[in-house]
Amino acid sequence: MSLETNKAFAAVLTAGITFMVAGLVGGLAVSPHRLEKPAIATGEVVEAAAPAAAPALEPIAPLLANASLENGRGIATRVCAACHSFNEGGRNAVGPNLYGVVGGPHAHRDDFNYSAGMKGLHDKTWDYEALNAFLNKPAAAVPGTRMAFAGLNQAQQRADVITYLRSLSANPVPLP
């Protein structure tokens, strides 16, 4: 080995020994006082209680009698039209076309790629109460849905939208 290589190894070895000795001296010079008990008491670990059940959703049928088709059209245009179309034979967008959805099966369009959660409910009908629950909280009504909409929390708004969706049919489903 050359003299330069020996100098490089010696420099690395000396630096390592210096840092080790400095750490030992520092540990002896500064000895922290250990507390007898924790400064912050966290209490006992308690097993989390089951979440409280969501309050039951009020039935939508009484509200449908006085629901406004025009208010529903306005809400649907403002809130739903970014992802859905409403005309007969209309195209699917991010979400499926909603013409004929009331009274039809979940996953009612054959030409749309629904989430597994929605496909699993294909044998169930979009009745008024199912639409009410879905429009309230889509993710709770159909677990696994890809619909990112948070929901309409005002029952009258849901009734208005359902009335509008009901009108999107050649043969609207009778009101309850």
User: Average of pLDDT values for 41-48?
Assistant: 61
Return d(Cα 48, Cα 31) in angstroms, integer: 40
The pLDDT, as a whole number, for residue 69 is: 93
Instruction: Report whether pLDDT(153) > 70.
Output: yes
Confidence of residue 161 (pLDDT cuts 50, 70, 90): very high
Q: Determine contact, residues 76/86, Cβ cutoff 8 Å.
A: yes
The burial of 138, by beta-carbon neighbours within 10 Å (0-12 exposed, 13-18 middle, 19 or more buried), is given as buried
Q: Give the mean pLDDT of 162-171.
A: 93
**What is the structure's pLDDT at 78?**
94
H or E stretch covering 152: none
Whether the per-residue pLDDT at 38 is higher than 90: the answer is no
pTM: 0.68
* pLDDT higher than 70, residue 127: yes
- Mean pLDDT over 72-81 rounds to 94
Computed over every residue of the chain, the mean pLDDT equals 88
Looking at residue 54, what is its pLDDT?
Answer: 56
Average pLDDT over residues 50-76: 83
Q: Read off the pLDDT band of 2 (50, 70, 90).
A: confident
Domains of the chain: 61-167 (1.10.760.10)
Instruction: Flag whether pLDDT at 76 surpasses 60.
Output: yes
Instruction: Answer yes or no: is pLDDT of 46 > 70.
Output: no
Sign, CA dihedral 116-121-126-132, equals: negative
